[in-house]
Chain A
Amino acid sequence: MGLARIWGYALAGLEAVPVRVEAHVRPGLPGITVVGLPDAAVREAKERVRSAAANSGFPLPSQRITLSLSPGDLRKEGPGFDVPLALATLAAGGHLPLGCIDTVGAAGELGLDGALLGIRGALAIAKTAAAQGITGLLVPAAVAPEAWQWGGGLKVWGVRTLAEAVSVLRSPEVAAHVERRTLRFSQRARARAGSSTAERLDMSQVAGAGQAKRGLEIAAVGGHHMLMLGSPGSGKTMLARRFPSILPELTLEESLEVTRIWSVCGLHPPGDALLRARPFRAPHHTASAPALVGGGSFPRPGEVTLAHRGVLFLDELPEFARDALEALRQPLEEGVVTIGRRNATLNFPARFRLIAAMNPCPCGHYGHPERECTCTAAAIAAYGGRISGPLLDRIDMVIGVHPLREGFLEQGLVEDTSASVRVRVEAAVAFRTWREQQLRAAEPARGAAGRAESALVAMAAHYRLSGRARSLLAAFQARAAAGARAVSRAMRLARTIADLVQSEEVAEEHLAEALVLRNRDHLHRDRW
């Protein structure tokens, strides 16, 4: 009888924070008290702990049990504390040798029968646990493969019941056995994840739309954002859904990042090891600003963070609420979302590719070769005007998607498959990485001289513009009176296009293509 300690984990944003869980059994009126800012779900744990312990054959002593969670000023949320609370109580109640769980971490929800149920954020917890350097982490078997992926020398025990957890802690033999079992399961789950990327959606299923496909390919290489403009039924959604199939595979590092986010949000299916497919998120246009960028009093990541390293598809862009669209500006530019709250400011990663789609006018038929548009000029302009200038500025490509003209399907066009596009994309990305390394190596040599150059000249040198490309750029600036952001964005786009043909120099034709893809006139802002 006495005092026992174990580690538990609270989720704050995308990170897990270690929480000391203590149990003290002392004489007094029988009862359990939980202190240390527990939320309702944590407070309810005492009922589950009592029943689960009894049903696992470990009756709790009829004495006063005090459970404490520290640091005391951190709000603890969710049912993940059931297991550490139960184990600490059992240790304090004499069912486990005292002191044997001091350097063990545990997380999981309990059923009344003593079964361990899955929790959110297993990967985040494993990351924190590995950094702590504890002896081992006890998690429900359902999420063990996920927790195991973190590696970092962390021992992971995936257990199914409270009784099994107790025997793992009591006997080294059982512990070793459970550890091997977890390893086997996890490796199998990982292999399964690798093979499931073979998808049914393929670019070759979309006929025509060559320019839009080209835009997607460029977006895939350079991480650019793109807006598709076209009548209903022209294939905008089909194209967007197939975009992930041409993206390069997630690296292990990226995969861990994405899995951690999805798992914290409770979207990672239990039993799966890692997410290998790029995320594709398509929130409905009624989504609110917090739903898109994240928020809430326990801040949760929004759609942009779920789309991290993947694709955010916004269909019917002008139908989204204005404040929701404006909230996208920060993540579009910086790749992170900052959410400020009274007690903390959280940063959620949000490096996604935005693919947006919209009709050219309210009725959708403006510019359609056969259908008649019934909108007034003012209505068309107002429709395009719902997308604010600053937001549009951050979208690199505006591309018209057109319905196929009749008789086109019979011509039997051969379209590129996603696999062949992906080969090109991956080659371009590899070239880009190599080029950037070269650039970084050469940078210090230019450093001092570079300071005197005007920003534009420096940029031209950075992007390696050819002479003819420079004169084209000058012509563009003179004609369009283009601002600095427009110019630098156009150059970035041109750089990506040059990467696609693995050219170290940005030539005239690359810049010319970039200027066409960036052209916003299609939205009729001031044309009429």
Chain B
Amino acid sequence: MAEDTQQPESGEQDDQTPSLPENRVDVEDAGTLKKKVTVTVPRERIDAKLDEVFGELHQSVQVPGFRVGHAPRRLLEKRFGNEVGEDVRNALVGESVGGAIEQAELKTLGEPDIDLDAIELPEEGDMSFSFEVEVAPEFELPELEGIPVEKPVMEVTDERIDEQLEQMRQSQASYEAAEAPAEKGDAVTVDAVISGEGVEELKRDDLELRVAAGQVEGIPLLELPDKMEGKAAGDTVELTAKVPESHPNEDWQGKEVNIALTVKQVRKRSLPEVDDAFAQSIGFDTAGELRDYIASGMESRLQDEVQRHMRNQVCEYLLENTDFELPEGVAKRHSARVLQRRYVDLLYRGVPREQVDENMAQLQAEADKQAESDLKLSFILSKVAEQEGVEVDEAEINAHIAQMAASYGRRPERLRQELESEGNLEQVAVTIKEEKALDKLLDEAKVTEVSEEELRKRQEESSEQDQDTDDKKPAGKKAAKKSAGKDTSEKADEAAEGKKAKKTASGGAKKAAKKTSQKSSKKSTGKSDKKDDEKPDDKG
């Protein structure tokens, strides 16, 4: 008689046995670095979960004809069975996946891909489902002690300081109107007339030009300084130039144009002497102080440079001496991310979309390759970290965040919060860990010192790409610092990107890069610009 009343049911809800039978987990291989995991959830667990959910429902749901909390369980099952079933299924799958992976002692990468709708919660009996996960590759680390590393010896020399001072003088130069003919480095005011076949004549008055390689209306004029030299007010200079394909004016693209420049005024450049007055004008007390400041800045920059160079060598060594396959899915995802970044980067730098699309196949191939080395390196380093017992503590994470915050000009606490909410804090910890592992390897490495000249010679021989590194030395301190603080995989990233930039820069890219570097201060090359651009979306 009492079968249909609520009492027995609510009694059942309460005795949730603490010792439920475990899920059964079966693992089988499914392709390279892929495992198929089958989980069987015993009936008792399903029932316990159902009881729990219905218990909650019972207390809260309003059914017409019943007071809250008084509707019989069977009615609820009938009414809400489907939804509850789904919930219970999702919850059970969610709970058991993590447990199953742990139980099977798999080092998984990424989230297992599970189609929840395909799994059915059976009315009776155990529930079983399976999913595939990618696992971290197993591999042997090469000999970690005594990795041969070359340490470039770079010293802060007076020469270098002078070089830098010279650049500062240039940037502080003042111009005064004079009658004398123009020399290189002087400024001129000109009226320009642009004409040519199929080109509407264009006049531009009172253009301010430097007697240096520059541009008029977006047309690069490389021979300007030679032609302009020695001209005084009233003289006219005729130039011909080819308009780049990427020029915004479509009528002009790829055409030869004549440019006539009539000099109106020549202004002599006068460079300030490096003395106390010069020092004071840029915020130092004496010229000596300025020198000291430059020296200390250069010192730390060179150190960063050396450090980076050595780290790169360790990375290369590790990559060369370890051999394993990468799980496909992860590699694909990463490569897609890399590609995306490259694509946006190229567009951002003014390369026309069609051109980028044309080179898509090439970009794709490069992204694949880069993704592969990135991933390999991070696998290797995490293994190294494990083997060498590298730990990261809270203080280090905070320090790293503070550094990042400083370079973005943000408040550290805010940045930390943001990272936490986006779940990137883990990533930061991993980055630090990898860096520490690298440092540890460096400590144990066999360091041979190489003089700077030798290094430079070798670099010049090896490829054009590495020259950028040389150019970069005087580039902004910020850039150097940033890269030092960066994820190692990103460093590899940069190196590879340098290569890429060269390759893809068949037309527009190269010119665009050149343009930017000319426009911005002479010091920073296209490459360091790019790094600044790229930084923000690294974290995204």
Q: Are chains A and B native binding partners rather than an unrelated pairing?
A: no
